[in-house]
């Protein structure tokens, strides 16, 4: 079945540095790739998404890149701040009409 | 436009009881998804519904679990004869079409 792998599972970076989270997907028909941020005890919230007709998308300190040939996409957070600490999930919309989530990355920002 | 609403936010049940979780999608959204999240783990897809139809229930256990999204009213996730392993956070998400999803605050089920 469809699968999304996410790495790393935990990531600790110094405040002000960049953080990169990578995901690979198996369904070559996937065409929509959202990223969600989940703070402790809260709901997942969409922070950025990209569709398959675009290679890169940026929103202030957050950017996402997509390589359809290699079937992987990445989240980049620049100038990290304490409030960026959370669990981040990637996802891929499969051809089976559902979104498959990665296993999550726990990002910690060191002061 | 109110967001996705779920109730109750917290639910405590004893083993063998039934749990009913409700999800009201955002206005104008006709697609509802249910996910289960264990502590320190990711979101596991359970079921995808449109009004009065189950589109994909491949992630839902065959026994004790059922879901519906009636023409009127919220979507319901029903767990019969709950066991301790059912303790988790259950999130629903709604979508205007089959992609961008907006999550509700979740229901945290505790089975004693």
Q: In DSSP terms, which residues pair with A8 in a beta bridge?
A: none
B41–A98 C-beta distance less than 8 A: no
A57 contact B CB<8A: no
The closest alpha carbon to A81, from A35, A17, A37, belongs to A17
Q: What's the CA gap between B68 and B74, in Å, rounded?
A: 9
Looking only at the bridges linking them, the beta strands covering B107-111 and B88-95 are antiparallel
Calpha distance B2→A13 (Å, rounded): 36
- From chain B, the residues in CB contact with A103 under 8 A are 41-42
- In the predicted model, residues of chain B with pLDDT beneath 70 are 1, 98
Portion of chain A with pLDDT greater than 90, in percent: 78
Segment A44-62, tens digit of pLDDT: 999 999 998 889 999 999 9
Average pLDDT, stretch A3-15? 96
Contact with chain B for residue A100, Cβ under 8 A: yes
pLDDT at A54: 82
Task: Mark yes or no for CB contact A46/B99 under 8 Å.
Answer: no
Cβ distance A98 to B42 less than 8 Å, yes or no, reads no
Residue A98 has pLDDT above 90, yes or no: no
The pLDDT score that the predictor gives to residue B1 is: 54
Contact of A97 with chain B, judged by CB distance below 8 Å, is answered with: yes
Interface probe for B, chosen from A8, A39, A42, A43 (most Cβ of B below 10 Å), is A43
A-contacting residues in B 65-84 (Cβ below 8 Å): none
Counting Cβ atoms within 10 Å, is residue A11 exposed (0-12), middle (13-18) or buried (19+)? middle
Note the residue count of chain B. Answer: 112
Q: Kindly determine whether residue B45 and residue A32, on different chains, have CB atoms separated by under 8 Å.
A: no
State the Cα–Cα distance between residues A86 and A106, nearest whole angstrom. Answer: 6
Which residues 6+ apart lie within 8 Å of B60 measured at CB?
Answer: B34, B46, B47, B66, B67
Contact A31, A93 (CB under 8 A): yes
Is the Cβ of B105 closer than 8 Å to some Cβ of chain A? yes
Question: At residue A94, does pLDDT exceed 90?
Answer: no
| B34 Cβ under 8 Å from any chain A Cβ | no
pLDDT surpassing 90 at residue A95: no
Which residues from chain B sit within 8 angstroms of residue A97, using beta carbons?
A: 48, 55-56, 98
Instruction: Record the tokens describing residue A109, joined without a space.
Output: 């920002």
């Amino acid at each position: 079945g469809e699968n999304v792998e996410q790495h790393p599972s935990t990531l600790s970076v110094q405040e002000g540095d960049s953080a990169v989270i990578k995901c690979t997907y198996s369904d070559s028909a996937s065409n929509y790739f959202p990223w969600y941020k989940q703070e402790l005890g809260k709901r997942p919230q969409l922070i950025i998404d990209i569709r398959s007709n675009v290679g890169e998308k940026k929103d202030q300190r957050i950017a996402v890149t997509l390589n359809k040939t290699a079937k992987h996409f990445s989240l980049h957070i620049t100038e990290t701040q304490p409030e960026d600490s959370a669990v981040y999930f990637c996802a891929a919309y499969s051809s089976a009409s559902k979104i498959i989530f990665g296993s999550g990355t726990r990002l910690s920002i060191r002061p | 436009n109110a967001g996705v609403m779920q109730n109750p936010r917290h639910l405590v049940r004893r083993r063998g009881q039934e749990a009913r979780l409700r999800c009201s999608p955002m206005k104008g959204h006709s697609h509802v998804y249910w996910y289960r999240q264990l502590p320190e783990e990711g979101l596991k897809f359970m079921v995808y519904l449109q009004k009065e139809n189950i589109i994909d229930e491949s992630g839902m256990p065959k026994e004790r679990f059922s879901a519906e999204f009636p023409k009127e009213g919220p979507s319901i996730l029903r767990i019969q004869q709950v066991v301790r392993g059912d303790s988790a956070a259950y999130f629903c998400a709604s979508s205007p079409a089959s992609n961008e999803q907006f999550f509700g605050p979740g229901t945290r089920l505790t089975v004693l």
